[in-house]
Amino acid sequence: MTPLSYALLGLIRGEPRTGYALRKVFETTPMGNYSSSPGSIYPALKILAKAGLVSGGNKAPYVITAAGEKAFGDWLLKPMAENEAIDLALLRFAFLHDHPDKQVSLDFLKSFAMAAKARAVGLKAFMTSEAWQEIPMQSRLAVEHGLRTTEASAEWALDAWKQLAAGASEEGRQ
């Protein structure tokens, strides 16, 4: 199961789609960091079908199976690991939307923020090492860029937590 497989599985789970419809998603939305080329989509879908995670295909929309739901659910519920790629973590977060328990999303954001902060600490440690002094200005600025975006990630997670928490309590009131 590659990142692309999970992206496809999650979209199919949202609603049944043909391979072409899936390609359109990658072409027209910010999910465009994933392939969209026929040479990657169609083989990936066949692998999902062979594994029994989706059914259909052959000009009909693919539909997620019970086994697919299980595999996808397990993947979704893992907390974010410190070394997990940010893109992948965000993909998982985006697909948490229809999970009945909002607390799962809130917990995920907490683990996301912690992972981002840990990365920032690692970069800062490098920036105070002896090696840092010998590194030319441009290279140091490039590392600074990594720190800035990592910190922006962490801040986003905290803000997103607040927004979600507020939305959840509002729902509770209705």
- Give the footprint of its own copies on this chain (CB under 8 A): 29-30, 90-91, 93-98, 105, 123, 126, 131, 136-139, 141-146, 148-149, 151-153, 155-156, 160, 163-164, 167
Dist. CA 97–CA 103, nearest whole Å: 11
Largest CA distance in the chain: 61
27, 32, 155, 163, 167 from 170: Cα distances, Å: 35, 33, 23, 11, 5
If contact means CB under 5 to 8 A according to the sort of partner, which of DNA, its own copies, none does residue 141 touch?
Answer: its own copies
In eight-state DSSP terms, residue 27 is: H
Question: Whose Cβ is closer to its own copies: residue 59's or residue 145's?
Answer: 145
Closer residue to its own copies, CB minimum distance, 42 or 156: 156
- Smallest distance from its own copies to CB 138, Å: 4
Q: Which one, 30 or 39, has the nearer CB to DNA? A: 39
Is residue 123 exposed (0-12), middle (13-18) or buried (19+ Cβ within 10 Å)? middle
Partner interacting with residue 158 (select from DNA, its own copies, none; CB below 5-8 Å by kind): none
